[in-house]
Amino acid sequence: MELVASNKVVGGWHKRYRHASTTTQCDMTFAVFLPEITNTGQKVPVLYWLSGLTCTDENFMQKAGAFKVANELGIAIVAPDTSPRGDNVPDDPKGDYDFGLGAGFYLNATMPPFDKHYQMYDYVVTELPQLIKSHFPVTQQQAISGHSMGGHGALTIGLRNIEQYSSISAFSPIVHPQQCPWGIKAFTGYLGIDTKTWQKYDATALMSTNEFEQPIPILIDQGDADGFLDEQLQPWHLQKAAEHINYPLTFNMREGYDHSYFFISSFIDEHLRFHASHF
């Protein structure tokens, strides 16, 4: 791994690294926050944060204001990039923001030319956690969270890998991508037209078709002034599916809040405390 940047913050450290990924077959960048208690070598649980469309690891780390409470609670935070990147990594042919670079949708692409590099599901589930556990003072305890496209990633990855995570949370997640323009475009381009292959990357479908013997708690916050609420996010689909099987999901509709990091920074402390309570 190559250390790209290092900044002391609230007694701990924020660091960015670049490494050659065998999963995405390109260089990947991620950021990690290590709370002050790790300066002594003590191991801490880790929260994986998945960002949304057009973002990188920097958006959450610079805008969410999560470090003080994460330091207080003794939680490390890891923020990967949102897609593979590089000169040889294919992008949306039209240059649209909602597909290609910055829009990996946390799935394993099967359609060429994207199948070679766009393996973000395996990267987040397997390669990155192995890297973190090998190089940083973290325990086996993990939680996962994210925003928008990253909220979609957190929900689907968490629900498919319940044994790996203590809890899941999301801000403004895409909960039913098979039924919204962002998801339909991404799934068609990355997975093809057979909608049966889409099911495992759709949180509502996973909630509707799976039996969870030991479900892990989910916390979702959504702003009612979010411009993407009705067309793209549609949280009521997941709420209905969760209610049907009595899944432990807490949903908060926040009056006046939009889709931005102003919203995330307003409630990130509650999400950190939620995850801490389940470690």
Q: 113: cis peptide before it, omega within 30°?
A: yes
Distance, first Cα to last Cα, the chain:
28
Report the DSSP beta bridge partners of residue 80. 30
Residue 89 backbone dihedrals phi, psi, to 5 degrees: -90, 125
Report the DSSP beta bridge partners of residue 252. 221
261: exposed, middle or buried (C-beta count within 10 Å: 0-12, 13-18, 19+)? Answer: buried
Instruction: Give the span between the Cα atoms of 69 and 47, in whole angstroms.
Output: 13
Point out the residues that are catalytic: 148, 226, 259
CA 213 to chain centroid = 24
Which of 62, 83, 66, 84 is CA-nearest to residue 75? 66
